[in-house]
Amino acid sequence: MKLSVALFVGMLIISSSCIEEKSIKFTQLPTVEKNTNHQVPLSAFLNFETEQDYDSVFIAINDGVNISELKYNREDKTKNGYLLVLMRAGKKINISLRLKDKKGNIYSSDEIASFATPKLPTDDKVFPKIEVTKKQNKEKQELTLFNPRRRMPISQAGSNSFNTMFGMLVIINQDGEVLWYYNTNSRISDFDMLPNGNISYMTQDNRIVEIDLAGNIINHWYAVNRPDGGKIDAIPVDAETFHHDVSLLPNGNRLVLSTEIKYIDNYYTSETEKDAPRKRQKVVGDVVIEFTPKGDVVHKWSAFDEMPVMRIGYFTLSDYWVRRGYPNSVDWSHANAIVPLPNEDAYLVNFRRQSAIVKVSKKSGKIDWIFAEPTGWGETLKEKLLTIPQDGWNWDQHSPHFTKTGNLLFFNNNNFQARPFNKTKPINESPSYVVEYKINEENRTVEKVWSTENDQEQQVHSVAMGRVSELEDSGNILACYGALLNSEYFDKMTWWNRGKYPQWTMVREYTHTQNPQVVWEIQLHPLTKDSQVGWTLFGADRIKIKNVVE
């Protein structure tokens, strides 16, 4: 993606020696206009008209140190021109052009357009400090997309609305330089770079939005029964909520996590006292929904139908759904990932409160297997349990995925290390890590084959979120650490009061080797030392931009 000036000039010389280049004859000289969509400040549009009937356009973006090149087909031109992206902030950018017609003729011009990109925000409430803390031999400038989530400790007045009424997506290079960012007015959870080059994301206020890199909304859906508003200018879907995760299916439909509410008699009122009085509770459980681009629901699966509602976890009685518009409710299952398995007509559902990864047959709606600590599942589901050694039990895990070799990879937050009403382990004895298992579905056994538990790095403790992926080119593992606790406060911090203390986050790239090594790491911290605003991440992905010439 990123070329040195000398290399790029050398490529042009080689190209010119092989094919005679002709001059572009402009009928409208090149001009650059900033993006009128203020949600994407580091973007602009290049506009021009020529006498030549060109087929492709190559745009070189030169900031004096680096040159990147964009390639577009002629029909990619919008009413504003060709989109310019992946430009560093606070730089003077010079633009040059090459055109190619259907016969292979190359046209170039000495006409250079230029403009200045805006600087990054200096307000600690709207942007984090992004610091590369480790980088080993990263000559190739790969791109990473992630979503900073601002966080004021919940003990401060107004923190819930402050935290949730802000959403951001950011693209950086290996040097931690911001090349693109997008702002919106609702906190973002899941996001994905789509095959068509657009970005899909999910919001706190129960919407799924697809945007192009100019920030324009291409598709937009919302859960019609959401507690936080009425009709909006988007496609309605018959769902209570959209939360945590959504996946685009090969047929163009989307598979998404939603919820439903049931009133359960004689339900728990304590997670620490087994004999505490019980009462009728408003219980929130998870639902999996598949809907078409038009918003029609074509598949629905309910956790209430297949899983024991009386099997609770620590923080089932938290106010998670209370803060999201459901007063007096409890958070029974708390799914946080939906992973379609198209070749099997099945999917994985990851349940945080249950500390369980469940494989569901889409056709039958039945559970194929359960990857979890074995207690509390009842006789009906007992035979579905995979046999996991006790030292490998997972707790409050996130982001399960199958690797290219078919192994199960996920982020183990490792919180509590117990279920009610057993004693929890303290935070400082519960480090988080990435782990990989080989599953034998036939005999229902698992084998741990890789983890970052002994990565020779300082232990860290994540209490929420987390995301992992296997990188296509290198086979390395990219790990996003979600919400990390500050060890400075461990002497007075517990699982139950941790929310009032600062949190931070980081992303690491590990070698997928027997002794994993961190080859790249970024950390997010407050922009100023005295800031009360911390930063966490729902996830981070290594991406490629469709129109960037590598």
List b or e across 138-159, with b for residues whose CB sees 16 or more CB atoms inside 10 angstroms: eeebbbbbbbbbbbbbeeeeeb
> In the chain, how long is the greatest CA-to-CA distance?
86
Query: What is the reported pTM?
Result: 0.95
At residue 59, the pLDDT reads 96
Separation CA 299–CA 449 (nearest Å): 35
Q: Which two tokens stand for residue 24?
A: 């572009």
Domains observed in the chain = 2-116 (2.60.40.10), 129-543 (2.130.10.10)
Task: For residue 450, count other CB atoms closer than 10 A to its CB.
Answer: 19
Distant-in-sequence, close-in-space partners of 534: CB < 8 Å, separation ≥ 6: 150, 151, 152, 153, 502, 503, 504, 525, 526
Question: What's the confidence (pLDDT) of residue 19?
Answer: 59
Q: Which two tokens stand for residue 262?
A: 């049931």
DSSP one-letter code for 110: S
Residue with tokens 């990054």: 120
pLDDT per position in the chain (550 positions), as tens?
444 444 444 444 444 445 578 999 999 999 999 999 999 999 999 999 999 999 999 999 999 998 899 999 999 999 999 999 999 999 999 999 999 999 999 999 877 899 999 999 999 999 999 999 999 876 778 999 999 999 998 878 889 999 999 999 999 999 999 999 999 999 999 999 999 999 999 999 999 999 999 999 999 999 999 997 788 999 999 999 999 999 999 999 999 999 999 999 999 999 999 999 999 999 999 999 999 999 999 999 999 999 999 999 999 999 999 999 999 999 999 999 999 998 999 999 999 999 999 999 999 999 999 999 999 999 999 999 999 988 889 999 999 999 999 999 999 999 999 999 999 999 999 999 999 999 999 999 999 999 999 999 999 999 999 999 999 999 999 999 999 999 999 999 999 999 999 999 999 999 999 999 999 999 999 999 999 999 999 999 999 999 999 8
* Type of residue at 537: L
- pLDDT tens by residue, 203-233: 999 999 999 999 999 999 999 999 977 889 9
Coil vs helix vs strand at 391? helix
Lookup: tokens for 251: 């047929």
Structure tokens at 129: 């400090």
Query: Helix-strand-coil percent breakdown of the chain, rounded to 5?
Result: 10, 45, 45
Digit-coded pLDDT (tens) for 297-331: 999 999 999 999 999 999 999 999 999 999 999 99
Return mean pLDDT, the chain.
94
| Those residues with Cβ within 8 angstroms of residue 232's Cβ, 6 or more apart along the chain or in another chain | 207, 222
* Model confidence pLDDT, tens digit, residues 151-162: 998 878 889 999
Q: For residue 371, what are the contacts with CB-CB under 8 A and spacing of at least 6?
A: 356, 357, 358, 386, 388, 394, 408, 437, 439, 446
